[in-house]
Structure 1
Amino acid sequence: MSLMTKLGLRTLVASCLITVGGAANAQLNVLVTGVGATQFPIATANFAGDANSPEQVAAIVRADLARSGKFTNIDAGSAPISENDSVDLGSWKAKGANAFVAGSVNKLANGQYEVRFKLYDTVKGESLGGLVLQSPPSGLRMTAHKVADYIYQKLLGDRGVFATRLSYVIKTGNRFQLQISDSDGQNAHIALSSPEPIISPAWSPDGTKVAYVSFEKKKPIVYVHDLPTGRRVMISDQKGNNSAPAWSPDGRTLAVALSRTGNTQIFAVNSDGSGLRRLTQGTTIDTEPTYSPDGRWIYFTSDRGGQPQIYKMPAQGENAGAAQRVTFTGNYNTSPKISPDGKQLAYISRTGGGFKLYIQDLQSGVATALTDTTHDESPSFAANGQYILYATQVNGRGVLAAVSTDGRTRQILSVQGGIVREPSWGPFMQ
């Protein structure tokens, strides 16, 4: 059986085994199973007016910080404290909090909600600023995530990813659903529902579109789905299999894997479906393309050496330069994804009969296993490069999981009584 057939069947069977009960847009539940080596102690008070808003903003902020594995929430009590209240920073430091957050939530005359907050450094006894954010009632959860992102960046120096989104596939009854949710699995909604499998979702760089493979016409076809409008464009319906879409960093091109010539090869196509061109020229199987963040390279899986390994070639294709092998640890490596800074490669390696998530430093070539599970698949980096989302099994049940790139912090995202597959972590939202 060819590499493409093996990969395709493994993905398709996993999708077909999904069973989910409950509501059509069931929320993902998040369980944090590990924390970082050090945690920043912070107290986030209940925001003034929060109790009367559709979402409790302060509670969402605290939950975001906790699941990052990098913060410890110090009890701030039940009394609301606004950004304008006088704050005794020394007393919060004495309670063990190195930072303190206060804020307010107010409904405006136009029906919008205004969230204000201020972040304090209790050790230095100074304000670290804050924001004023407005949103409709339906946007309050995302506003809370933006508050958490501000705190994360100010205190840790890296951009947070709480305000990013996830995509994944579930099956309810006889229908497959492509769902989009917040990064915490909440606020889920259905982008596409189909009686046939949906696989390989991939976010556009601006976060407004998702490319995916749908079997709704009884064969795999690549579509691009505009999320704000729901409009879809068929990108590739070539003879044979159309699979594994991956966006170029500028959003103008997608790399896809097509079997139109017999064996699966990598092609590029414009984001409107025009301009199809072949990139690999071999007689073996080349699949699972992914672009480097600078757009110079395409990494892909190939069995040209006898067993599947990760290679890279110029983004213009092998006519512009020979492909180079990238992975040398293990004899079966697939599903490449490159970190946003271009320094690390995430991939799946068959180890001892199981499939594990690995991360490789691209400069040194050192590869490290990040998980202790054996059914890992579909890795996807968070936009800040500090976490990887993937599908796996826990206690024989399919779940999504996220792990920090140092392997210390882990999250399990699951649907009650069901299985989820095909995860993809969205980009920063502008």
Structure 2
Amino acid sequence: MKLKISLLTLLLVLVFGESVRAAETLSVDIFGPGQTRVNILVLPARGVNGQAATTLARSFGEYVQGDIGFLPFLRLAFLNEVLGGDPSKGLKADDIDFKPLQLSRIDLVMTIGGAGQEIEARVYETFTRKLLVGKAYSQVDQGGVAHVADRFCAQLMRVLTGKSGFFDSTLAFSKKVGGGKELFTASALGRELQQITHDGGYNVSPSWAKDGRKLAYTNISDLGHRMGLWDRGQRVSRLRKFPGNIAISPTFTPDGRIAVALSLNGHPDIYLLDADFKISQPLAPSWAISVSPSFDLSGRKMVFCSGRLGGPQIFLLNRDTGNVERVTYEGSYNTRPSLSPDGRFVVFARLVNGGHRIFIRDLVANQERQISFGPGSDEDPSFDPDGYFVSFSSTRSGGSKIYVTTRYGDAAKLIPTGPGDAMAPAWGVATALN
């Protein structure tokens, strides 16, 4: 259902008459060596002016709690953990007895109110009684309440961590349709699922442009390999044929060009295309197969998969010097690398004991660890725009589905993508066009 809301995202001091000094606000360093675990209690929704809580407000609370389940730095607390039960009589700080919350080690408490199509929500820091987030929304319908909950949680994450890429992003992935595969998009929470290509054949390996307005991919059909380019604004895709019989893993660079593996000399090398799709010299030429480029935000670093030393391994190209450095030494089959936006971490799939698992390597500390653990096979990792979350496809539930973890290997969560197999997720920023 199309969203029919107008959001009244008012400044905290104007909406609720309460202020917060940023320097005193609770914060969470999600990129630090040890993640802080913050306990948050979402109180039952209340009505406004003595009325009963609306179904809309209760639904909002349920969606918020579902969203919090995706944030490993937050632990959802429950009322039975609080001595005496619900310590609130209303929605504002003066209506809450914070002492039982403090004694129960609850760090944050959220109140929700609603009347008609209006919803208001607040999150307080229990030990200071300070308001961290306060929002009011009007003209919300049942079809739009999930989106409103996502927006609120994005603001909460932004206040706590300084980041909100998880909520402000779009996943593209490949799904089986009939006898082939087409590309679909959805939010990081699996909402607004839609099929975006109808090319026939097999559409695989999607990659977003930095601004989220275009998506490059590979189409494989009886006509051979073609590169597809989907325009988000025009809602149309176009296919382009290149010399040779291979055109795989097209990837946008931060400046909007495309790097793609083409077989111009009998084996795939990675070439950079200009704005007119003219082919340059290979970026990291070799006698062996080179595929799956991935860039950091500067565009100066590129990781890729190559068989130049035998089996497939991950390599790093410094585009300023042309130097190619081997990244993976463990395992004989390492594929599908994704480079973090800051260029420090690379995630990739490794074949281990008959199945693939996701590993991450710190290129600065020169350390590596496993972050997915099956069962089944875990493949096609992709960093989110903040470099914190990692999406991947997995057969752990039977068919292939999309899951999300963090670069620390937190418990993987299923992203709903509807019936049928889903694979090869690619993470990009959301835009106003979506």
TM-score range, shorter chain: 0.7 to 0.9
* Cα displacement (A) at 1:331: 2.7
Q: Deviations over 1:50-102 (max 9, x none)?
A: 84659933322211112223323234699999866853151544565321223
Q: Aligned match of 2:402 in 389, 392, 400? A: 400
Code of the aligned partner of 1:350:
L
Change (3 A) 1:56 1:256: same
Q: Aligned match of 1:254 in 251, 258, 271? A: 258
Q: Deviations over 1:237-287 (max 9, x none)?
A: 33311110111123x2111101122111111113x5433212233222111
Contact 1:40 1:71 in 2 (8 A): yes
Q: Aligned match of 1:167 in 154, 163, 172? A: 172
Change (3 A) 1:146 1:344: same
Change (3 A) 1:364 1:95: closer
Give the structure 1 partner of residue 423 of structure 2: 421
Structure 2's unaligned 5+ residue stretches are 1-33, 80-84
Contact 1:267 1:276 in 2 (8 A): yes
Give the structure 1 partner of residue 380 of structure 2: 378
Give the structure 2 partner of residue 128 of structure 1: 132
More divergent stretch after superposition (360-369 vs 65-74) = 65-74
Code of the aligned partner of 2:67:
D
Code of the aligned partner of 2:297:
P
Give the structure 1 partner of residue 393 of structure 2: 391
RMSD: 3.2
Code of the aligned partner of 2:312:
P
Alignment of 1:100 with 2:101, yes or no, is: no
CA–CA distance in 1 between the matches of 2:431 and 2:88? Answer: 30
Q: Aligned match of 1:87 in 90, 95, 108? A: 95
Alignment of 1:151 with 2:156, yes or no, is: yes
Change (3 A) 1:280 1:145: same
Code of the aligned partner of 2:388:
Q
CA–CA distance in 1 between the matches of 2:215 and 2:101? Answer: 44
Code of the aligned partner of 2:429:
P
Give the structure 1 partner of residue 280 of structure 2: 277
Contact 1:259 1:265 in 2 (8 A): yes
Change (3 A) 1:322 1:255: same
Change (3 A) 1:339 1:133: farther
CA–CA distance in 2 between the matches of 1:224 and 1:211? Answer: 5
Give the structure 2 partner of residue 367 of structure 1: 368
Alignment of 1:302 with 2:306, yes or no, is: yes
Give the structure 2 partner of residue 199 of structure 1: 204
CA–CA distance in 2 between the matches of 1:267 and 1:58? Answer: 49
Q: Deviations over 1:202-248 (max 9, x none)?
A: 11111222211122563221122122321224455333111101111
More divergent stretch after superposition (142-151 vs 129-138) = 129-138
Q: Deviations over 1:293-333 (max 9, x none)?
A: 211122111111122211122447xxx52322222222322
Contact 2:295 2:303 in 1 (8 A): yes
* Cα displacement (A) at 1:48: 5.3
CA–CA distance in 2 between the matches of 1:174 and 1:79? Answer: 57
Code of the aligned partner of 1:290:
S
Give the structure 1 partner of residue 40 of structure 2: 42
| Structure having greater relative contact order (Cα 8 Å, sep ≥ 6) | 1
CA–CA distance in 2 between the matches of 1:79 and 1:323? Answer: 60
CA–CA distance in 2 between the matches of 1:238 and 1:55? Answer: 57
Q: Deviations over 1:82-133 (max 9, x none)?
A: 86685315154456532122345678xxxxx775433211111111243456
SS in 1 for 2:429: coil
Code of the aligned partner of 2:95:
V
Change (3 A) 1:338 1:236: farther
Contact 1:48 1:81 in 2 (8 A): no
CA–CA distance in 2 between the matches of 1:210 and 1:54? Answer: 36
Contact 1:98 1:122 in 2 (8 A): yes
Change (3 A) 1:80 1:203: farther
More divergent stretch after superposition (166-175 vs 253-262) = 166-175
More divergent stretch after superposition (337-346 vs 235-244) = 235-244
More divergent stretch after superposition (280-289 vs 53-62) = 53-62
Give the structure 1 partner of residue 59 of structure 2: 56
SS in 2 for 1:142: helix
More divergent stretch after superposition (162-171 vs 53-62) = 53-62
CA–CA distance in 2 between the matches of 1:55 and 1:231? Answer: 39
Q: Deviations over 1:166-204 (max 9, x none)?
A: 121212433533111121112211112343111001111
Structure 1's unaligned 5+ residue stretches are 1-35, 108-112
SS in 2 for 1:334: strand
**Within 5 Å, which residues of 2 pair with 1:69-84?**
69-75=72-78
CA–CA distance in 1 between the matches of 2:134 and 2:67? Answer: 17
SS in 2 for 1:192: coil
Equivalenced residue count is 385
* Cα displacement (A) at 1:44: 2.6
Alignment of 1:287 with 2:291, yes or no, is: yes
CA–CA distance in 2 between the matches of 1:226 and 1:248? Answer: 16
CA–CA distance in 1 between the matches of 2:119 and 2:276? Answer: 42
Contact 2:89 2:96 in 1 (8 A): no
Normalised to the residue count of structure 2, the TM-score between the two structures is 0.78
